[in-house]
């Protein structure tokens, strides 16, 4: 974990969840706040974070929550529920927060984004996360002499009861890194995620991952390609106070629509022509 200032805002990057992640993040944030008492908000960057240890996901979430549920782990038996709760104390002192995610944010990263989004502690900017919300248990065989069996035993649920598995965490403001990426999302050609695996475990409540849709916000003409567009939009959300209050950029038109519409129109015309021919007989 590393922290720095970006203008008026703190920036905390967590790239994975290992044994030291929470300790490192707490130290980095405390140092940043001590040196910058006028900090106006915080961006927590979880992009391309593949996940890691559950207790560290709970620890990072707990840094910003004063109490209440962070995540629950539910097995096949409805009574088999483990809940993880936050302890009092907010390391960011209640500063406004945005969490940055993308399709490379998985597992423990999704637990953090989902907890902070559900508990209204942060708004989420970027792209829908990977959707790895299943729990594996390693069962030693003959005391480990015959190796071990890795079994999927439970799913992770956010505080509001959403399963992360397959569907992922959807951002409050969808922002692509580039115009090309926005078009790929619109056309669903690029969505590599947990849902891409043919036999992936479903989200229990039967929700499907969002399919092709209107393109995400993309860098406007003249935006410096060397700059981080997703981060710049995260700072806009902090500046305006919420995603709702942030002026939206005009959405680029989906390029596929231009190709699909005429085909659809031609097919419809052919059908109606066929019907007319049938009527004339």
- Whole-prediction pTM: 0.83
Is-contact 160 269, C-beta < 8 A? no
Provide mean pLDDT across the span 170-188: 86
Distance CA 125, CA 233 (A): 8
162: its two tokens: 């959403």
* Residue 235, helix vs strand vs coil: helix
Cα separations in angstroms, 141 against 134, 138, 147, 148, 152: 22, 10, 6, 5, 16
Phi, psi of 152 (to 5 degrees): -80, 120
Distance between CA 94 and CA 41 in Å, rounded?
Answer: 9
Q: Can you tell me which residue has the tokens 């390693």? A: 138
Specify the pairing of strand 41-45 against strand 97-101.
parallel
Chain centroid to Cα 129, Å, comes to 4
pLDDT tens column, 105-159? 999 999 999 999 999 999 999 999 999 999 989 999 999 999 999 999 999 999 9
Residue 228: other Cβ atoms inside 10 A: 16
For residue range 6-31, list pLDDT tens digits in order: 999 999 999 999 999 999 999 999 99
Q: How far is CA 162 from CA 70, 209, 256, in A?
A: 12, 12, 32
Closest CA to 47 of 122, 127, 102: 102
Q: For residue 280, name the pLDDT band (cuts at 50, 70, 90).
A: very low
- Rg of the chain over CA atoms, in angstroms? 22
Catalytic residues: 107, 118, 132
Structure tokens at 56: 């560290």
Q: What is the mean pLDDT of residues 85-94?
A: 98
Burial of 46 (0-12, 13-18, 19+ CB in 10 A): buried
């Amino acid at each position: 974990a590393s922290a720095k200032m970006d203008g008026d805002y703190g920036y905390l990057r967590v790239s994975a969840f290992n044994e030291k992640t929470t300790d490192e993040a707490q130290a980095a944030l405390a140092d940043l706040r001590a040196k910058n008492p006028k900090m106006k908000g915080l961006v927590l960057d979880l992009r391309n974070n593949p996940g890691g240890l559950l207790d560290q996901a709970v620890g990072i979430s707990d840094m910003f929550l004063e109490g209440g549920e962070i995540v629950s782990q539910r097995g096949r038996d409805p009574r088999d529920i483990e809940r993880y709760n936050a302890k009092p104390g907010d390391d960011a002192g209640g500063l406004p927060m945005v969490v940055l995610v993308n399709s490379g944010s998985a597992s423990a990263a999704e637990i953090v984004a989902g907890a902070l989004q559900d508990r209204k502690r942060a708004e989420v900017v970027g792209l829908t996360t990977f959707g790895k919300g299943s729990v594996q248990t390693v069962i030693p065989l003959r005391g480990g002499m015959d190796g071990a069996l890795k079994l999927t035993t439970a799913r992770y649920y956010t505080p509001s009861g959403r399963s992360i598995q397959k569907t992922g965490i959807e951002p409050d403001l969808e922002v692509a890194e580039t115009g090309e990426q926005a078009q790929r999302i619109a056309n669903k050609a690029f969505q590599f995620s947990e849902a891409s695996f043919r036999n992936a475990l479903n989200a229990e409540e039967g929700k499907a991952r969002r399919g092709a849709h209107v393109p995400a916000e993309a860098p406007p003409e003249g935006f410096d390609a060397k700059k981080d567009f997703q981060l710049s939009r995260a700072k806009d959300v902090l500046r305006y106070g919420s995603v709702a209050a942030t002026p939206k950029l005009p959405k680029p038109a989906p390029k596929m629509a231009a190709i699909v519409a005429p085909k659809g129109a031609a097919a419809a015309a052919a059908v109606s022509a066929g019907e007319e021919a049938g009527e004339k007989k």
